[in-house]
Amino acid sequence: MVALSFLAAFEYEGKLSRLSRVDPRPKLIWLVAAMVLSIAYSSLKAQLLIAVIMVLPVIALGGVASVVLSLLKSTSLLFAMVFGLNYVFTRDLSFSLAMGLRLVILVVCFASFFRSTHTSELSDLMTKLRIPFYVTFTFTTAIRFIPTLAMEAQEIMDAQASRGLELERGSLLRRLKNYIPLLVPILVCAIRRSYQLAEALESRCFGYTKKRTMAYGLPPMSKTDWMFLAASVAQSAAVILLASM
Amino acid sequence: MPEPIVDIQNVTFKYAGSSAPAIVDVSLQIKRGEVVLVTGASGSGKSTFCRLLNGLIPHFYEGEFSGCVFINGVDTRTIPVYVLSKDVGLVFQNPDNQLVSLSVEREIAFGLENLGLPREEIIKRTEFILKYFGLDRLRDVPPYKLSGGEKQRTALAAVVAMRPLLLVLDEPTAELDPMSALQLALMLSQLREMETTIVIVEHRLDVFTPLATRILVFSEGQLVRDGPPEEVLFDSNLSSLGVSTPRVVQLQLKLEELGIKLPIKALTVSSLVDQLSSAVSSLDLR
Ligand SMILES: Nc1ncnc2c1ncn2[C@@H]1O[C@H](COP(=O)(O)OP(=O)(O)OP(=O)(O)O)[C@@H](O)[C@H]1O
Ligand SMILES: [Mg+2]
C-alpha cells in the first residue's frame, strides 16, 4: 500500500527528535515561510536556496532523513509527472526542475511539521490563534476518528472481499462500480458512530457551561523556541536576499 | 430516611420505529452506596435501563416514554443530559466511540474541562487518576492506538475523574481478559468505599457477584428478579432467563440436589471452601 506508507510519513513520531521538542508556534512560522517562499519564487535557483538553507537544517534537527528518503521514493512518481508535464509544455528544463523541486519541498516541509507536532499541540495552537473552541473541537474530532474509520473501512473491505467481491478487476468503470457495495456499509457505520459520539459527549457534560476550562495549552516559549524563530527569520531573509541577487 | 439516589416509577419506553417496548413498567429505587448488578439475556433492555439513568432516554432517544425517573430527587425530564451527567457517570458498552480526545491524558481531563473546574484542580485530578488507573505510561497515546482493555480502562477513568454520585457501567468487561476483569472488580470495590453508588451491567456474574449488594434481572424489558445475590442467584430457574449462574452457586445447587445443604449460601470460592472444610472436619473422618 503506497498510499498508507505515504501517510505514515506525516504521522506524529512521539517526542523523539529535537524538532519535536520545539514549540509549534515557531515551527508553524517556519512552515508558512518556507511554503510562501517556495510558491512565490519559481526559479530553480530560489528553490535550491530554500531547500539548502531552510529545509535541510530542519530535516537534520528532526532526524527524519530516513523518512524523507522514503517520502521521496513514494513521491518520485509525482515528481516525475510534475517535471515531465512541465517539460513537455514549456520545454524549459530549469523551470521544470524547479517545479518538481517545489513539490518535494512542500511535501517534506509538511511531513517535518506534522511528524514532530502532536495533534493536541495543533489544537492548542489553534486555541492560541483564537480559533473558536467548536472549530478546534471539530478539527480534533475529525483527526481522532480518521484512523478508527479507516480501520473500520478496512474491516468492511476484508469482509466483502471474503464474500467474493473483487475490487481490482475489470475496466476503470467496472472497478469504480465495485466500490459501491463498500460505500453503503462504510457510510452507515460512520453515521451510527456519529450518533454514539454525540451521546457520549452529552454524557460527559459537553456544553455544561459556557466558560469551559482549557486546562492544557502551550507552555511559554523557551530559549530554544525563540532561537528557532530567529533562525527561521534569518533563513527567510537569506533566501530572499540571495534569490534576488 | 435519606432520599434514594435513583427512583424509577412505572417506566415504559419504546424506541421510535420498534414494535415492542424495550422497558416495560419498571419501578425500583436505588439507595446510596448500593452496588447493583444488572443482568439478562441479550436484547433484554439492560442498555436501555442505563440510558434511563442519565436522561439519554427521553432526551436523546426518540420514542414513547411514560412514567418518571428521579435522580437525586430531580425528574430527568426537567434537566438536560449534560447537566444530569455531572451526577451520573455512564461508561458505554463500546469504548471506541466515547474516547473523543487525542491522548489519554486529555481524555481524562475532557469532562472536567467541560464542567469548567479550575485549571489546577483539573491537572491535579487528572494526574491522580492517571496513576490510580495505571495509565501514566500511556498518557500521550492517542485512543486508536490503545488495546481494547486500555480503551475500556481509559473510558472508565475519564468518567470516575468527574466524581459522579452514581457510576453506571454497561458491560465493562466486554473487552477485558479475565485478569483485567478481576482488577476492574478490585478498583470498583475501592470506589465503593468512597461511597459511590454503582450500577454494573454484566453477563459474567462470577467477577462482580462478591461486590454486589443487589442483583436485577431483566427479561424482555421487564424487571423479573430484584434482590440480594443470595436470593436471586440460588434460583434454579435463572438459566431460563438467559442468565449464567456463577460456578460457585451451580456447585451448591448440585450439592443440594444430592441432599447436601450448607448452612450459609456462599457467593465466593473462598467462603464455599471454608464451609466445606468446616463441614468435613465436623464429620471427623479420622
Ligand atoms: N437505538 C435503538 N433504536 C431502536 N431499538 C433499539 C435501540 N436500542 C435498542 N433497541 C431495542 O431495544 C431492545 C433492548 O435493547 P438493549 O440494547 O437495551 O438490550 P441489552 O440488554 O443491552 O442487550 P445486549 O446484551 O445485547 O447489549 C432490543 O430489542 C433492541 O433491539
Ligand atoms: Mg447492551
As a whole-number percent, the residues of chain A with pLDDT over 90 amount to 27
In angstroms, the CA B153 to CA B161 distance is 12
Is residue A214 domain-resident?
no
In angstroms, the CA B36 to CA B40 distance is 13
Q: What is the pLDDT of residues A167-179, one digit of tens each?
A: 777 777 877 777 7
Q: Backbone phi, then psi, for B222, in 5-degree steps?
A: -100, 145
Q: What is the pLDDT of residues A10-26, one digit of tens each?
A: 667 666 678 888 999 99
Q: Backbone phi, then psi, for A103, in 5-degree steps?
A: -60, -45
Boundaries of every domain in chain B? 1-83+197-237, 246-281
Which candidate in A122, A133, A191, A202 is best for mutational testing of the B interface (most B CBs within 10 A)? A202
pLDDT given for residue A15 in this prediction:
66
A154 plus A79 within the same structural domain = no
In angstroms, the CA B35 to CA A232 distance is 60
A45 plus A112 within the same structural domain = yes
For residues A217 and A124, is the Cβ–Cβ distance under 8 A? Answer: yes
A108 plus A162 within the same structural domain = no
A182 plus A233 within the same structural domain = no
- Radius of gyration, alpha carbons of chain B: 20
Nearest to B32 by CA among B281, B284, B213: B213
Angle at A44 between CA A42 and CA A46, to 5 degrees: 70
Average pLDDT over residues A207-211: 88
Domains in chain A, number? 2
For residues A200 and B170, is the Cβ–Cβ distance under 8 A? Answer: no
Is residue A127 domain-resident?
no
A66 touches chain B (CB under 8 A): no
From the centroid of its chain, how far is CA B160? Answer: 13
pLDDT given for residue B226 in this prediction:
95
> Which of A144, A204, A214 is facing B102, going by the closest CB pair?
A144
Is residue A2 domain-resident?
yes
pLDDT given for residue A64 in this prediction:
66
pLDDT given for residue B130 in this prediction:
96
Nearest chain B residue (CA) to A150:
B144
Is residue A102 domain-resident?
yes
Is residue A125 domain-resident?
no
Is B194 strand, coil or helix?
Answer: coil
Angle at B146 between CA A151 and CA B148, to 5 degrees: 80
In angstroms, the CA A66 to CA A60 distance is 11
As a whole-number percent, the residues of chain A with pLDDT over 70 amount to 92
**pLDDT classification of A4: cutoffs 50, 70, 90:** low
Q: What is the pLDDT of residues A78-125, one digit of tens each?
A: 788 888 888 888 888 888 889 888 988 998 888 888 888 888 888 899
Average pLDDT of the residues of chain A:
85
User: Which carries the bigger pLDDT value, residue B211 or residue A181?
Assistant: B211
Is residue A34 domain-resident?
yes
B92 touches chain A (CB under 8 A): yes
A167 plus A49 within the same structural domain = no
User: Which carries the bigger pLDDT value, residue A140 or residue B22?
Assistant: B22
In angstroms, the CA B40 to CA A237 distance is 71
Which residue minimizes the CA distance to atom 16 of ligand 1?
A: B45
A114 touches chain B (CB under 8 A): no
Domain that holds residue A138: 132-203
Question: Mutate which of B44, B170, B205, B220 to test ligand 1's pocket (most atoms within 8 Å of Cβ)?
Answer: B44
A137 plus A79 within the same structural domain = no
Is residue A124 domain-resident?
no
A63 plus A163 within the same structural domain = no
A85 plus A136 within the same structural domain = no
Q: What is the pLDDT of residues B164-199, one digit of tens each?
A: 999 999 999 888 888 888 888 988 888 888 888 999
Q: What share of chain A is helix, strand, coil (3-state, %, to 5)?
A: 75, 0, 25
Q: Which of the residues in chain B have pLDDT under 70?
A: 1, 284-286
In angstroms, the CA A97 to CA A83 distance is 6
pLDDT given for residue A2 in this prediction:
44
Q: Which is the CATH superfamily of the domain at B1-83+197-237?
A: P-loop containing nucleotide triphosphate hydrolases (3.40.50.300)
- B41–chain A nearest CA distance, Å: 22
**Grid cell digits, residue A131:** 480559533
